[in-house]
Amino acid sequence: MNDRMNAPHAAEGAPPERAARARWRERLARVLREVDARPDAAHSLATLAALAHSSPCHFHRQFSAWCGLPLARYVQLSRLRRAVLQLLHRPRLRVLDVALGSGYESGEAFARAVRRELGLSPSALRREPLRLAACAGWAALERQLNDAEHATMNDSLFQIDAVRRVHLPDIPVALRVHRGPPAQLAASLGDFIAWRRERRLSPERAATYNLLYDDPEAVAPQDFRFGLAVAYDGAVEPNPQGLQAAVIPGGPHAVLRVVGPDAMLERALRWMYGHWLPASGCELVDRPAWLQRLTLFPDVPAQQGELLLHLPLAG
């Protein structure tokens, strides 16, 4: 397989060293996509090394050097992340179905992995999902996977001509604003999903949005805000989950389609603000950036997540 066919924009016109690094990142990204797309497969070192055009006797060291954790550990944590999120957010799935679909040999093997990594049982997690927000093991798992995903992202991944300028109508939504440390976002997400589930507003029936009020690097953890919204044109009665009626204002927007894990979003934001905006001649209005989730993890593998990132523009 030709690496240049997989990452043409990263390699075209780049200095040889940068182009070579871009091709190697794409090789690693292929491995991550394979692991995430087939969590129940028996991923051998030889098979994954072949995807990266590497020798099995070297590939495990190459992977560790780039991604910060051993290949086997990435496979292990990737399976566990998807299984835990399915356990919490897909209540109609039996624990055994979650386990087998995520590559575990049995429900007992899955339970052992959850206890070892998170200190909880699958049944306790499903019964008390808020415990995940305070779980140090979960925070460490997310950090390691995010670091590995960041390592495979090319600096020249996005293109100026990929940004569309569109004029949108107002979008009425039901909105839950998370306030507090990003590590506690899982609790707010649980409230949001519960409210949707009560009203049968599945992602297939009602679009999902996020409002990016704050940069987590620029505000104190207790001041961080993140909006969770679902398309909803009607009155929102007082509810224990804290959702309220709101509107995402319409008007001119710059829109970029982003494909990949959530770690890709921060990369896309930096590129939009640092590269596209100065070159565009556009000005922004004083409203937060927002995104529409087209596909949702864990319904699809993390590497196949898809969203539309919107920057609101001045008239």
How many angstroms separate the CA atoms of 98 and 291, rounded? 29
Please say if the pLDDT value at position 7 is more than 50.
no
Structure tokens at 123: 């049944």
- Characterize the bridge pairing of strands 225-231 and 208-212: antiparallel
pLDDT of residue 4: 36
Mean pLDDT in residue range 24-31: 87
Pair type for strands 225-231 and 171-179: antiparallel
One domain for residues 104 and 238: no
Find the CATH number of the domain harbouring 127. 1.10.10.60
Fill in the amino acid letter for 118: L
Contact residues for 304 (Cβ-Cβ < 8 A; gap 6+): 33, 36, 37, 259, 295
Q: Tell whether the model's pLDDT for residue 160 goes beyond 80.
A: no
* Structure-model confidence comparison of residues 101 and 89, the more confident one: 101
235 and 171 within one domain: yes
Nearest to 227 by CA among 245, 217, 212: 212
What is the mean predicted confidence (pLDDT) over 151-180? Answer: 87
pLDDT digits 0-9 by tens, 186-196: 889 889 988 99
The span from the CA of 174 to the CA of 110, in Å, is 35
pLDDT greater than 90 at residue 209:
yes
Query: Which 3 state secondary structure label does DSSP give 68?
Result: coil
- Mark whether 1 and 98 lie in a shared domain: yes
Whether pLDDT at 249 is above 90 = yes
Mean pLDDT of the region 60-72:
89
Domain boundary among 157, 179, 202: 157
Residues 61 and 99 in one domain: yes
Core vs surface per residue 105-132: b (16+ CB within 10 A) or e: eebeebbebbeebbebebeebbeebebb
Counted domains in the chain: 2
22 and 128 share one domain: yes
**Do 217 and 149 reside in the same domain of the chain?**
no
Q: Would the CA dihedral through 127, 212, 135, 294 be positive or negative? A: positive
**Per-residue pLDDT at 213 exceeds 90:** yes
Q: What is the mean pLDDT of the chain?
A: 88
pTM for this prediction: 0.76
Which DSSP state fits 216?
Answer: T
Domain match, 167 and 293 both: yes
Better-scored residue on pLDDT, 207 or 262: 207
Distances in Å between the Cα of 115 and the Cα atoms of 87, 109, 128, 137, 185 are 14, 10, 15, 10, 22
Q: Are 232 and 206 in contact (CB under 8 A)?
A: yes
Question: 139, 157, 175 — which closes off a domain?
Answer: 157
Q: Are residues 142 and 262 in the same domain?
A: no
Do 37 and 59 belong together in one domain? yes
Same domain? For 249 and 216 the reply is yes
pLDDT at 14 exceeding the cut of 80:
no
- 246 plus 141 within the same structural domain: no
Peptide bond into 261 cis (omega under 30): no
Residue where one domain finishes, among candidates 142, 157, 172: 157
Same domain for 164 and 153: no
- Segments forming the whole domain that contains residue 103: 1-157
